[in-house]
A and B are shown apart, each in its own frame.
Chain A
Amino acid sequence: MFDRKALKELEKRRKEWENSNYIPLKERNPEIREEFENLSWTRIAPLYTPMDIGDKDYLKDISFPGEYPYLRGIHSTMYRGKIWTMRQFAGFGTAEETNERYKYLLAHGETGLSVAFDYPTLYGYDTDHPLARGEFGKCGVAISSLRDMEILFKDIPVDRITTSMTINGPAPVVWAFYIANADNQGIPRTKLGGTIQNDVLKEYIAQKSFIFPPAPSMRLTVDTFEFGYKEVPRWNTISISGYHIREAGSTAVQELAFTLADGFAYVKAAMERGLEIDRFAPRLSFFFNAHNDFFEEIAKYRAARRIWARGMKELGAKKPRSLFMRFHTQTAGVSLTAQQPEINIVRVAIQALAAVLGGTQSLHTNSMDEALALPSEKAVRIALRTQQIIAEETGVTSTVDPLGGSYYLEWLTDRMEEEAMRYFDRIEQFGGVIPAIEKGFFQREIAEASYRFQRELEEGKRTMVGVNKYVMEENLDIPLLEMDRKGEEIQLNRLKKLRAERDQTKADRALERLRRAAEGDENTMPYILDCVHAYNTLGETCGVLREVFGEYKEPLIF
């Protein structure tokens, strides 16, 4: 990127600078720490110069936004053309309560919905399942049937907004609820836009809300890919997620490497089924974390785009939409503190800024009270306002990839890409992502990183403001969310009524047909849709799949 002669001269001058300026000063006034490391334990030098990126070819390695390898962004105009989608993850209690919250968020300028489901729903259980005890509506909304989905989106125009749903194991069934709700309103499936997370690999690796073993899970995922591009073409049938890998304690490098490895594993699985890469790949989307180390996060998003573009090209993708990586970002829940919760607003703002400077397509900003409980309305509003300030007051949206060309950032981007590649090699040695999961490779890597971080925190090598430094006694004055205490009862009655009123023969027949499809190798999606249209519940529909596919048990890794 720089001519050789100039670099030679620079090298000489840099040495001079180091000897005559940097080192003497450092000896007079020692630096705060002996070593500076980022959150992936990468050593950071005191200064970066053109020397650190001198061997790069601008047109090949960096290029223009909207052009291969998409390092600088997926669109040529980026936020000058369209601000990212402000999408706040929300859901609690009954469908009625969450429906109210959605309308509140839309009224305050949110541009897309994002559904949080409660734990029973995430595991494919109805609210009346014994394992659901105590969990109803706690971490999201309980959706046990099409009836609940109808209430959740009551008076919300599903043909005009996009909806993201954080659901994995039972994703095909919950997606079917959403589609069936639109079917019943006469809205064509081609008009539906949104995302199902549907990323089971990261469930085995980090989030642990898995149901089935890997092989049938991958099959269901590919079923949704195929059904998606044929029937619901505007839908992102997967959101390949690093978020939870990071929340489980991984480093940024691990988040990057493991997420992309998962991504390529899905692509290969779909290709093995005979799906054409340029038909399904445009509907693959990603989901990353925005953590505290500002530059490392920005470098991570940029590296991710380049690795994905290069990898997809190698796999034979041709369409730009198959090559460029679109992603959603959420600020790091794990970085929030229960101590002095108001300071979380600041953390979130900085993390969100990193996501924007990294070129995210949509963003969720966490609420300050999330280390204490589900967010209150006010806390959610402040979080949303944070995004609006970044978008409309700071001016960072005026030019594309404003930090591109920073010696440090470009060096770090390259370095993270290299480290991700090294992880790919190690995963390959296991025979791919699934064997590596079964051998506990990812889990072990994450557990190591998370334990190491915790130790360093306790030794005072890392700072968490308000936790191990600048600690103070305080009386918490955060209003917490109050939920309808009758919610569970309402939901249980609704389930009972649904089971009593539906056409049982029709419902049973649909389940039987799904069973046969699952035992064979047909695409299961049409059968799942029939099941939910016949008002079979989530638990009943997943129950059939559980019987056919069995349940996954994880290897124990500390």
Chain B
Amino acid sequence: MERKIRVLVAKPGLDGHDRGAKVVARALRDAGMEVIYTGLHQTAEMVVQTAIQEDVDVIGLSLLSGAHMTLFTDIAELLKERGMGDVLVVGGGIIPEEDVPRLKESGIKGIFGPGTSMDEIITFIKENVKG
């Protein structure tokens, strides 16, 4: 049987802008993935516990409030701490160019800003998810 890519789409932090997260979730579903959506206002602990239980291959974080430097890195660190460092983590939102290197260093492998096409995200996931 074909192995399905499982993705957790999570919205950490307080902003309620879920249009992007939901559009991405639907697009990933349409690309044949199993997508678990957490809803709004997730703490790092909630995201990581969910990722563990759902045994996901990918975590997609969406945040538009500008709190990404704190919250994305919190999650990346907690994942490593729990031995989940091999999960592919990507992030989207309003992320200034200058923050990107530090986010990548912390373990967020893909950063997608406004205007990213769904295809680009899908391709990135398919190419980078571990086999």
Q: Do A and B contact each other directly (Cβ–Cβ < 8 Å)? A: yes
Contacting residues, chain A, for B97 (C-beta < 8 A): 372, 476
A34: min CB distance to chain B, Å: 24
Say whether B85 faces chain A, with CB atoms less than 8 Å apart: no
In the bound complex, how far is the Cα of B71 from the Cα of A277, in angstroms?
47
Considering residues B37, B43, B74, B97, which has the most beta carbons from chain A within 10 angstroms of its beta carbon?
B97
Q: Assess A454 versus B118: contact at CB under 8 Å? Given A119-B65, A208-B40, A374-B66.
A: yes
Whether A119 and B115, one on each chain, are in contact in the complex, defined by CB atoms closer than 8 angstroms, is no
B75: min CB distance to chain A, Å: 11
Q: Which of B58-98 contact A (CB under 8 A)?
A: 65-71, 74, 94, 96-98
Whether A208 and B115, one on each chain, are in contact in the complex, defined by CB atoms closer than 8 angstroms, is no
Whether A372 and B94, one on each chain, are in contact in the complex, defined by CB atoms closer than 8 angstroms, is yes
- A interface majority secondary structure: loop
**In the complex, residue of chain B having the shortest beta-carbon distance to the beta carbon of A209:** B16
Number of residue pairs A-B, CB distance < 8 angstroms: 98
Contacting residues, chain A, for B114 (C-beta < 8 A): 336-338, 371
Say whether B34 faces chain A, with CB atoms less than 8 Å apart: no
A215: min CB distance to chain B, Å: 20
Whether A373 and B13, one on each chain, are in contact in the complex, defined by CB atoms closer than 8 angstroms, is no
In the bound complex, how far is the Cα of B121 from the Cα of A458, in angstroms?
12
Question: Interface size on A (CB < 8 Å)?
Answer: 44
Q: Which of A219-268 contact B (CB under 8 A)?
A: 247-249
Say whether B54 faces chain A, with CB atoms less than 8 Å apart: no
Partner of B65, one of A138, A554, A556: A138
Whether A208 and B23, one on each chain, are in contact in the complex, defined by CB atoms closer than 8 angstroms, is no
Q: Assess A134 versus B67: contact at CB under 8 Å? Given A450-B19, A451-B26.
A: yes
Contacting residues, chain B, for A125 (C-beta < 8 A): 14
**In the complex, residue of chain A having the shortest beta-carbon distance to the beta carbon of B71:** A134
Q: Assess A134 versus B115: contact at CB under 8 Å? Given A139-B15, A558-B22, A558-B25.
A: no
Contact with B along A442-457 (1 / 0, CB 8 A): 0000010011001001
- B interface majority secondary structure: loop
Contacting residues, chain B, for A249 (C-beta < 8 A): 19, 23
Whether A447 and B22, one on each chain, are in contact in the complex, defined by CB atoms closer than 8 angstroms, is yes
Say whether A123 faces chain B, with CB atoms less than 8 Å apart: yes
A505: min CB distance to chain B, Å: 32
Contacting residues, chain B, for A133 (C-beta < 8 A): 67, 70-71, 74
**In the complex, residue of chain A having the shortest beta-carbon distance to the beta carbon of B64:** A139
Say whether B55 faces chain A, with CB atoms less than 8 Å apart: no
B130: min CB distance to chain A, Å: 27
Q: Assess A119 versus B14: contact at CB under 8 Å? Given A337-B115, A467-B115.
A: yes
B63: min CB distance to chain A, Å: 9
Q: What are 8 A-B pairs at a CB distance below 8 A?
A: A123-B14, A134-B70, A138-B67, A334-B19, A373-B96, A458-B117, A464-B115, A480-B96
* Chain A residues engaging chain B, CB cutoff 8 angstroms: 119-120, 122-123, 125, 130-135, 138-139, 203, 207-209, 247-249, 334, 336-339, 371-374, 447, 450-451, 454, 457-458, 464, 466-468, 476, 480, 554, 556, 558
| 10 additional A-B residue pairs with CB within 8 Å, beyond A371-B113, A454-B118 | A122-B14, A135-B65, A138-B65, A139-B15, A139-B65, A334-B19, A451-B23, A451-B26, A558-B26, A558-B37
